[in-house]
Amino acid sequence: MGDFDQFQTGCVIRYPYLWAREATAGETEGRKPRPTVVGIRLKRSSGDALVLLPITSRAPPAGTTAVEIPDTEKRRAGLSTDIRLWIVLDEFNHDIPGQSWYLEPHSALGSLSRAFLLPVMKQFVAMLGKKRQVNRL
């Protein structure tokens, strides 16, 4: 797994995120690599699993749960501070480093701080039953 060790909770990577609406329409590939945060890295004997949350520059529509990323966090994560960015909490991709067709070993951009990410992930976990999951395995 070596090359994927950096994909820890809070790491922001480039990833071909597959939106739930695209998966529902029968698509199997993300349309483009986008910044995506490793929300949680779950240690498992069969291979660690990643819960991946999309980052978007589009203002979330009404009814979407998202958290705007402050400029300080954007700089830490290797993201542009020239545009507004949000972490979408309504859906996620599930993937396994070293077994995935979609994870690239050297795609890390930076990391979000624990102080920022912890309350975001608490909100995510509190809504877990309402999430749309796309399993990329």
Q: pTM for the whole thing? A: 0.92
Per-residue pLDDT at 1: 43
Q: Mind giving me the DSSP string for 28-77?
A: -S-SS-EEEEEEEEE--TT--EEEEEEEESSPPPTT--EEEPPHHHHHHH
The Cα 127–Cα 65 span in angstroms is 10
Identify the pLDDT of residue 135.
Answer: 78
CA dihedral over 10, 17, 124, 84, signed as positive or negative:
positive
Residues of the chain where predicted confidence (pLDDT) is lower than 70: 1-2, 131, 137
Helices (runs of H) and strands (runs of E) counted in the chain: 3, 8
- DSSP state at residue 103: -
Q: What is the predicted pLDDT for the residue at 137?
A: 66
pLDDT at residue 2, rounded to an integer: 55
11 beta partners: 111
**Cα diameter, the chain:** 41
pLDDT value, residue 3: 78
The domain 2-135 having CATH identifier 3.40.50: the answer here is no
